[in-house]
Chain A
Amino acid sequence: MDQPVVDVKGLTKKYPPATTAVDGIDLSIPKGKVFSLLGPNGAGKTTTVEILEGLRTPTSGEVSVLGVDISRGYGPIRGRVGVLPQNFEPFDLLSPFEAVGYWADLLRVRMGRKDIGSALDAVGLGDRKRVMSKTLSGGEKRKLGIALSMVNEPELLFLDEPTTGLDPRARRDLWKLIEETKGRGTTVVLTTHYLDEAEKLSDDVAIMHRGRIIAQGTPEQLVSRHGKRTAIVLVGAGAEGLKELTRRGIAAVEKEGDVVVAVEDSSQLRWMFAKLSSIEVSYREMYTRRETLEDVFLDLIGSKMEEGVLQG
C-alpha cells in the first residue's frame, strides 16, 4: 500500500493564553484522493490546513507531508505543493497573465506565453488575462488564486474555500477542474462549507468541531453510519404540521418550513406513508429522499450552519 501523502498523529495547536485550536487530531490522506475537511467557523480547519501547508508551527504532534517530517523544514517539498489560502488577495497591480508568469518563476516552473494562457483558460479567466487584478470581481480573484495554486502541477493541492464567491456555473466548472486534477494523480485537500460540494467531490471527509475530528470516512460511510438512510419530507407543513406529528408520537424535525420524518429502515416506508396519510396535516407535496452529508453534519454538530457560521 502507498505511503499516505499526509500523515498526522496527535496534532495539537495551542494559542496563548488558553486557546486550543486543534486538539490532538489524527489524519491520514492517501495519494490521489480528494479529502475534505468540514466544520463550522472556529472548528480548527484553517489552522490544521495551514500547519499541513507549512505556514504555521504546531505545538505538538507528528506531521508528515509527501513523506517528509515537516518539523525538519518544508523546503524539500515546497515546490511539490500547491496552496490556495482562505483569504487569497491577488497582486492588484499585476494582470492575471503577469501574475501566473511571476508565480511560475517563483516555483521554478518553465511556462511559455501559451502555457500561461492555457492555465488561465482552465479557470475561466482567458478573456480577463490582461486587465489589472484589482479590477477583477471577487469570484475572478478566486479563480486567479486557483490558477496560481496549480501553476506547478502539484502532487498535493490545498484548496481553502475555493468556491466562495463563485456563481453556480463557475462552481461546477471548478468541480470539473478538481476532478481532472485528481484524475492526473494529484491529492486534493479541500476545506469548504458547501456540504454538497464536499459530498460530490470527496473520497474522504473529516468533520471537525472544537478542534477535534468527530467523524471521518467516505461520504457514503458517514451517511450510512450517522444518517437515518431515508427521510420523508412534507413540503410546507411548518410548525403546525410538526406539532400534530409530535402529538401522534412521530419523531420529526422542521427544516425551513418543511417537516422531515426520518425512517430508520426502508421496509418501514410503506407503513409510515400510511400513517402520515391518516393524519390531518396540511402540506403542498410529499416526497422521499436519501439523507445527505448535510443531514449528518447537522446531526453531529447539533446546529445549523450557513456560510460556515453555526446558527443556533
Chain B
Amino acid sequence: MNRILSETISFGRQYLRTKVGPFFAFIFPILLIVIFGAIFTSSDGSGISLPVQNLDQGPHSVALMEILNSTGYFEISMVAEDEDIVDYINDNSLALALRIPANFSSDIDASTPASVTLYGDMSRSSFPIAQGVLDAVISQMNYDLTGASPIVSFDVQNAGSEQLSAYDFLLPGFVGLTIMVSAMYFMTSICAEHRSRGYFKLLATTTLKKSEWLVSKFIFNSLMLIFSLLATFAVAVAMFDLKAVLTPVAILLVVAGAFMFTSLGMLIGVVVKDPESAAAISNVIGFPMMFLSGSFWDLSAAPLYLQAISKAMPLTYLNDGLRDTMVYANEESALVNTLVVFAIGLVCFLLASRLMSWKER
C-alpha cells in the first residue's frame, strides 16, 4: 500500500509540474464549457443577422418588418435598393437575406398573391431557423390580413424534471470527453515516455508490481478528474443557467471512467514505442470516439450503422451514464452504464497487466 501511495504522490508531483497535464485536466474542460456555453446560450433564435432589401416601402412591407422585429429572433439591417441581393450576400459572406419586392403592398391591397424571397446558403445552421420563423411570421400576417385566427395549434410541454437546455445535454458529454482525453491520451504518452527513457526498466529493478503501478495511476486520475469535474461544474453553474445536477452516481461514473480509460491507455501503451507513435495511436482510437459517442450531439437521429458503431465505443456508455444521472435523473440506467464502464475497464486492466512488459525480451 505504501508503494502505491508513494507512486501516486510521486507521479502526481511530476504531473502537476508539467504544463500539458493540468491544462487538459482543468483548463481544457473549463474552456469547452465556457465556449460552448456561450454559443448555446445565445444561439436560441435571437441575434440572427437578417439584412432586408425593401423595394416596396408600402404599409404592408413596413408591417412585415415590424412583426419580424417583434419576434426577437432577428437583428435586422437594411440593404440599399440598387444592390444585387445575391452579389451582396456573396460579397459579405452572409448566411441569408430577405427581399421584399416593389409591388408587395399593392399586390396585397389588390388581393393578388404576394411573396417575399429569403436568399441564402441553406447549408448554414441559421438558415432553417430563419426559414421557420419567417414561415410563422407570414402565416400570422395572413391571419391578420384576412381577420382569421388559427383553429388548430400545438403546445410544447417539457417532460423532464425541469426546463433543460442544449447546454445541459452537452455538459455530461464534455465531462466524458475530458475523462477520455485526460486518462487515455495521458496514460498512453506516459507509457511511451517510460519506455523510451528507460523508466520501466528502472522501475523493474524495484519491488513495485505492474498492477500496483497501474492502480496508482487510476487513483491519481480518479482524484484529479473528480476535482476537474467539480471545478468545471462550478464554472458552468456560475456562468450559465444550468439545470443538470451533480449526483453521487456521477462521481461514481467519473471514477469508473477514470479506471476504464487509464486501463485502456495502458493497454495501448503495450504497443507504443515512442511519444510520436503514442500520439498517433491515441488519435486513431480517440477521435472516432469523440464524435461517435454522443459527446457533442444526440446520436438517436444518426444512421443506424453509426448508432451500431457508437455502441462499440466505451465512451458511449460513460456519456450515457452521466446524462442519465445528471440530466434525466434516471439512476437505474446510470448504474447499469456504470457497471458496463467498470467491466470494460476491468478487461483492459487485466489485459494490460498481463501483456505489458517492463523488461527487455
Q: Does A106 contact B207, Cβ atoms closer than 8 Å? A: yes
Kindly list chain A residues whose C-beta atoms are within 8 Å of the C-beta of B355: none
> Whole-angstrom distance from the CB of B247 to the nearest CB of chain A?
36
Kindly list chain B residues whose C-beta atoms are within 8 Å of the C-beta of A102: 6-7, 10
Q: How far apart are the CA atoms of A164 and B82 in the complex, in Å? A: 83
Contacts known (A93-B14, A98-B10); A83 close to B205, Cβ less than 8 A: yes
Q: Does A91 contact B201, Cβ atoms closer than 8 Å? A: no
Q: Does A94 contact B207, Cβ atoms closer than 8 Å? A: no
Contacts known (A89-B197, A89-B198, A106-B6); A53 close to B205, Cβ less than 8 A: yes
Q: Does B14 contact A94, Cβ atoms closer than 8 Å? A: yes
Q: Does B361 contact A107, Cβ atoms closer than 8 Å? A: no
- Among A78-97, those with CB < 8 Å from B are 78-79, 81-83, 85, 87-89, 91-94
Count A-side interface residues using an 8 Å CB cutoff: 29
Q: How far apart are the CA atoms of A81 and B205 in the complex, in Å? A: 8
Count B-side interface residues using an 8 Å CB cutoff: 24
Kindly list chain B residues whose C-beta atoms are within 8 Å of the C-beta of A94: 10, 13-14
- Among B322-361, those with CB < 8 Å from A are 359-361
Q: How far apart are the CA atoms of A186 and B200 in the complex, in Å? A: 26
Q: Is the interface of B mostly helix, strand, loop or mixed?
A: helix
- Among A50-104, those with CB < 8 Å from B are 50, 53-57, 75, 78-79, 81-83, 85, 87-89, 91-94, 98, 101-103
Task: Say yes or no for B199: interface residue by CB 8 A criterion.
Answer: yes
Q: How far apart are the CA atoms of A132 and B197 in the complex, in Å? A: 17
B166-205 CB contact bits vs A (8 Å, 1 = yes)? Answer: 0000000000000000000000000000000111011111
Task: Say yes or no for A108: interface residue by CB 8 A criterion.
Answer: yes
Kindly list chain A residues whose C-beta atoms are within 8 Å of the C-beta of B3: 105-106, 108
Q: Does B361 contact A106, Cβ atoms closer than 8 Å? A: no
Task: Say yes or no for B117: interface residue by CB 8 A criterion.
Answer: no
Task: Find the A residue at minimum CB distance from B212.
Answer: A106
> Whole-angstrom distance from the CB of A126 to the nearest CB of chain B?
21
> Whole-angstrom distance from the CB of A104 to the nearest CB of chain B?
8
Task: Find the A residue at minimum CB distance from B5.
Answer: A105
Q: Does A106 contact B18, Cβ atoms closer than 8 Å? A: no
Task: Find the B residue at minimum CB distance from A89.
Answer: B197
Q: Does B17 contact A93, Cβ atoms closer than 8 Å? A: yes
Kindly list chain B residues whose C-beta atoms are within 8 Å of the C-beta of A89: 197-199, 202
Q: Does A85 contact B18, Cβ atoms closer than 8 Å? A: no
Task: Find the A residue at minimum CB distance from B213.
Answer: A106
Task: Find the B residue at minimum CB distance from A92.
Answer: B14
Task: Say yes or no for B208: interface residue by CB 8 A criterion.
Answer: yes
Task: Say yes or no for B2: interface residue by CB 8 A criterion.
Answer: yes
> Whole-angstrom distance from the CB of B182 to the nearest CB of chain A?
18
Residue from A53, A56, A91, A106 within 8 A of B14 (CB atoms): A91
Q: A55-B201, A56-B359, A105-B2 are in contact. List 10 more A-B contacts (CB 8 A).
A: A57-B361, A78-B205, A85-B198, A89-B197, A91-B10, A91-B14, A92-B14, A105-B3, A106-B3, A106-B7
Residues of A bordering B, CB below 8 Å: 50, 53-57, 75, 78-79, 81-83, 85, 87-89, 91-94, 98, 101-103, 105-108, 132
20 examples of A-B residue contacts, CB within 8 angstroms: A55-B204, A55-B205, A78-B205, A78-B206, A81-B205, A88-B198, A89-B198, A91-B10, A91-B14, A91-B199, A93-B18, A94-B10, A94-B14, A98-B10, A98-B13, A102-B6, A103-B206, A106-B207, A108-B2, A108-B3
